[in-house]
Each structure stands twice: as structure tokens, then as C-alpha cells.
Amino acid sequence: MERIIRTALAALLGAPLIAAVAYAGTASAATVTIAKYVNGQQATAASAGSYSFPMQASWTGGSGSFSLSPTGFNNPNPYQATTNDMATSTSYSVNEVAQTNCSSGFPFTLAGYSTGDSLASAQTAQVSSTAPNFTNLQNDEYVIVWNTTCAPAPQPISPANGVSIPSDQLTSLSWTSVSDSATPIQYFYEVSNSATVNSNNGAFTSPVYQSGAIASTSVSVSNIATGTYYWHVRAQDAAGNYSPWGAINSFTVTSPSGTTTPPTATSTSSISGTVFKDQNGNRQLDSGEQGISGAQLVLLNLSDRSVQPQQLTADANGNYSFSNLPAGTYLVLAKLQQGDVPTVWPHVIHLDGTTSVTGQNFGERAYSYNRFPGFGNGSHQSSNGFGNNFSNGSNTSSYGFGGGSQMPGFGTNNTNTMNNMPNMGYGSPFGMGSMNGMGGMMQGMQGMHGFTR
């Protein structure tokens, strides 16, 4: 009789979606009861927030969908559903629809399934992520669909949404704490220059920063560049479930408090020239002499040592140009090709900030003992001062320009850094006098005192 009544109720409620055939008063029939548990307990309207959980079932000869909700389906208990009577040879499977997950914004996530021949035995059975599939049913079966609550999305607190804040006053970001059944909770935040997010997971499409896991609800920040930023936070519980991303807030970082941005002077000065093969060694760019493609150059601001050196590469014809230079005194250096020596020395140039200086050429030619008297056989006491380590083309010495009477201060080049040029003199490169060591010419000039090969 109970099965006849249940069959009648199921017919009124659309029971074909849960089972196929009723077998009233027949012993060779079985049912499957599906129950929803949340955080280890039988679900109630309060514990499940009155949400409905979509389910999918299939059986021999049919399939359908139903929901576990505050109103039981073919069952007087909330969040339970029972099939019609099915023949004992019937197969039956059931699963929760996969859309119920934390990152989608649904407040519950599927933890797994357990089965047994009673509700009590299903409660103590091993939970599996595999949906139950009964074949050749012989007795009534019970399925528990286990869910856990998702951590809610944390919300930004500070800085306040839309605020402008000087960079020296932006010291931290903070957000609300969240609770969840699986503890501890950890947090992740993203920062972007755009509020655009991916439609599939809510993350920024082009974040400029993505944090690692953070155990607290705030994080220290410093030295943030000026500009407008967007940020949001999400949580992850101990079971590995992520909450949705919280609301997107923005803030604008301005210059440090008490400072103003000075007006920028327009600089039109430039220095240009050509690096070339000085075939005849006359220190002039003659017709037919070719520029050196890809030659590397460095510009030093001698008037302001705090300005970083500029580096550039000459074009295919050996031409170069340093532009937009403010007024000051500059030194231009060119890196020599392997095995070459200079015929034109580095240029010291004075700019007024409005005019350009052209024709600052660099000549070089292959090294030869016959072309440059004074290279000697390795002695750095040579009257012409080129010193040692030129035998056999060696360029390992780093004596640099040393202590020449007309060109003091180039120093050594042992570390190959620009810092080896703090006391550069302006003396004539053609009146070197008695120099105790341009001995590292191939390392000093060819390496440009720090512009390494």
C-alpha cells in the first residue's frame, strides 16, 4: 500500500524524472533514496540556506533531473528524494550537477558521495568523488550527497574605494575576514590597471600583481608607482575551495605628500657622429671609408654624475645620435671592434641645451706595431705610454690610461664597470707625455671601462 501511495504521489509530481516503473505490493522491487548533507549533517532549510541542489538521474529505460530542496521529492523529509519502485534487475545512477561550486558564486561545493543499504550505513561509508552507479538492484539503497559551505567572498576595506592617496601614505591593503567550515582560511589578492575581468573565473584579464597565500586580512605595501589601480580579494578554505572574488575597488596613487612635480624643460640638444674604419689612419672620415654597423656607444653626463649613462647602438652605416639632452658637459665613448685601436679619441662636448653638435666621429683601425710607435714589446714604461700586454694581441691587462701628465684620472679597469671613470680629466689626448700605463688599451678603451663585450 505504501508503494501504491508513493507511486500515486510521484505521478502527480512528475515522477518519471526519478524512476520508471511502480511495482505495488511486489517483493522484487527496490528504491533508491538520495539525501543531502551539509557540513556533515542532514541538510535543513537553515543549514542549506533554502537553496535547491540540481541533480541528474538515469535508470534502465530512462533519465531525468530533479532537485534536492527544502521540500522533499517523493519523500516527506526536506532535502531527500526517493525513487519509485524499480525492478530488482534495474540499473540506477545519480549525480549532483557540476555547476554547484564555490568559484561560480554558489555557496556550497560538492564534497562527494557515499552509499549504503540504510541511511545510517551510508553515513559511515567512505566518501568518494565518483557518482554512485547501481547495477542489478536487489534491495533498497541509500545515497548521501555531501556538500560543504564555501567561504564567502572577502571585501576590500582600505584604502577606501576611489580614494587618491600619496605614495608615502599608502602602506597597506586590508579586507574583511571570512569564516568557513574548513579552516584555516587564506587569502589572495590581485591588482590591475584595468577593471576588466575574465568571464569564466572573475580574475583580472591583465593583472600587474597576483599575491601568494596570505594568512591575515591585510598586507604591507610600499613604493607604489603613481597611477590608478583596481584590486579585489578572494578566500580559500582548508579543503582547497576558492570563494568568488570580492568587489573590485580602486585607488589612485599620487606623488609623495609635500612634493610637487617640477616643470620639465624642453631639451633640443643632441650629439651625433659616425663610427668608421679609418683605413689611412688620418683621424678623418674620408670618402670610401665605411661606417661600422652596430657599433656600441656610451654617453656620460659629466655635469651630473647622478644621471645614468646612456647606451645605444649605431645604425648599419655606423651613424649614432644622442638626442633630447639638457645643457651640460658630456663624454662620448665608442667600443672598439676586436683587434682595433682608436685613431680618434673620446669626445668631451659642451651643450647649451638648444643646439646640436654633429660630426663627433670615432675612427679605428686594425692594430699594428708599425703604425703606433711606443707600443713596444710589453713594457708600460714606453714613452708613448701604451704599455704592456699588447704582444700577440693580448687584451687582458687593465691598467687603463693611468697617470698621464696630460690625461689623468682614467684609472684602472679591473672590474669593467662605469664606476671606474669618476675622475676623468679633459687634457689633450695628443700630449700624453710620460704615461705610466695605457697598458690595458685593449681592455680599457676596447672595453670602454665597463661597457663589456
The Cα–Cα gap between 334 and 274 comes to 10
pLDDT at 280 exceeding the cut of 50: yes
List pLDDT tens digits, range 369-401. Answer: 444 433 333 333 333 333 333 333 333 333 333
Q: Three-state SS for 342? A: strand
Q: Which helix (H) or strand (E) holds 12?
A: helix 2-13
Q: Which range has the worst mean pLDDT, 122-126, 128-132, 448-452?
A: 448-452
Contact 55, 95 (CB under 8 A): yes
Tell me, yes or no, whether 170 lies in a domain. Answer: yes
Give the pLDDT of residue 266.
58
Has residue 417 been placed in a domain? Answer: no
Residue 25: pLDDT over 70:
no
Please identify which residue in the block is written with the cell numbers 551510508.
122
The three grid cell numbers given for residue 377, joined into one nine-digit string: 714589446
The answer to whether 192 touches 211, Cβ cutoff 8 Å, is: no
Angle at alpha carbon of residue 64, lines to 61 and 66, rounded to 5°: 145
> Over the stretch 285-316, which tens digit does the pLDDT of each residue have?
999 999 999 999 999 999 888 888 999 999 99
- Specify the range with the lowest mean pLDDT, choosing from 1-15, 105-119, 343-357, 410-424: 410-424
Tell whether 445 is covered by a domain.
no
- pLDDT, residue 14, reads 43
- Give the Å distances, CA to CA, from 439 to 296, 307, 338, 399, 402: 22, 29, 16, 5, 8
* CATH label of the domain that carries residue 11: 2.60.40.1140
C-alpha span between 225 and 222 (Å, rounded) = 9
Peptide bond into 152 cis (omega under 30): no
Per-residue confidence band for 22, with pLDDT thresholds at 50, 70 and 90: very low
Helix, strand, coil share of the chain (percent; to 5): 10, 35, 60
Q: Are 95 and 131 in contact (CB under 8 A)?
A: yes
Within-domain flag for 398: no
Tell whether 21 and 68 lie within a shared domain.
yes
d(CA 225, CA 171): 13
Determine, yes or no, domain membership for 381: no
pLDDT of 277 over the 70 cut? yes
Q: How many angstroms separate the CA atoms of 237 and 186, rounded? A: 7
Distance of CA 184 to the CA centre of its chain: 27
**The last residue of a domain, from among 97, 132, 149:** 149
| Structure confidence at residue 151 as a pLDDT band (50, 70, 90) | confident
pLDDT of amino acid 177: 94
In a domain, 10, yes or no: yes
The structural domain count of the chain equals 3
Position 355 in a domain: yes
Q: How confident is the model at residue 183 (pLDDT cuts 50, 70, 90)?
A: confident
For residues 278 and 320, membership in a common domain is answered with: yes
Q: Are 85 and 193 members of one domain?
A: no
Q: Is the pLDDT of residue 354 over 90?
A: no
Give a yes or no: residue 261 inside a domain.
no
Residues 109, 221, single domain; the answer is no
Residues 409-434, mean pLDDT to the nearest whole number:
33
* Averaged pLDDT for residues 128-149: 93
Residue 347: the pLDDT is: 83
Residues 116-119: contacts with CB under 8 Å, at least 24 apart: 116/141, 116/142, 117/141, 117/142, 118/142, 119/33, 119/35, 119/144
Show the cell assigned to 199: 568571464
| Statement: residue 181 has pLDDT above 70 | yes
Percent with pLDDT over 70 in the chain: 72
178 vs 105: CA distance, rounded Å: 15
C-alpha cell at 445: 678603451
Say yes or no: 233 and 357 in one domain. Answer: no
Q: 125 and 6 in one domain?
A: yes
Which of 254, 280, 306 terminates a domain? The answer is 254
Do 322 and 231 share a structural domain? no
Residue 105 is predicted with a pLDDT of 72
138 & 21 share domain = yes
Q: What backbone phi and psi angles, to 5 degrees, belong to 347?
A: -100, 130
CA–CA dist 12, 68 (Å, integer): 18
Range of the domain at 55: 2-149
Would you say residue 407 has pLDDT above 80?
no
Average pLDDT over residues 203-212: 90
Mark whether 120 and 248 lie in a shared domain. Answer: no
Is 410's pLDDT higher than 50?
no
Query: Tell me, what CATH number does 169's domain have?
Result: 2.60.40.10
Lowest mean pLDDT among 57-71, 74-88, 150-164, 199-213: 199-213
Q: How many CB atoms lie within 10 A of CB 365?
A: 21
Residues 121 and 174 in one domain: no
Closest CA to 275 of 365, 350, 348: 365
Same domain, 207 and 126: no
Q: What is the dihedral of CA 173, 178, 182, 186, to 10 degrees?
A: 0
Among residues 366, 382, 409, the one where a domain terminates is 366
Q: Rounded to two decimals, what is the model's pTM?
A: 0.45
Same domain for 278 and 197: no
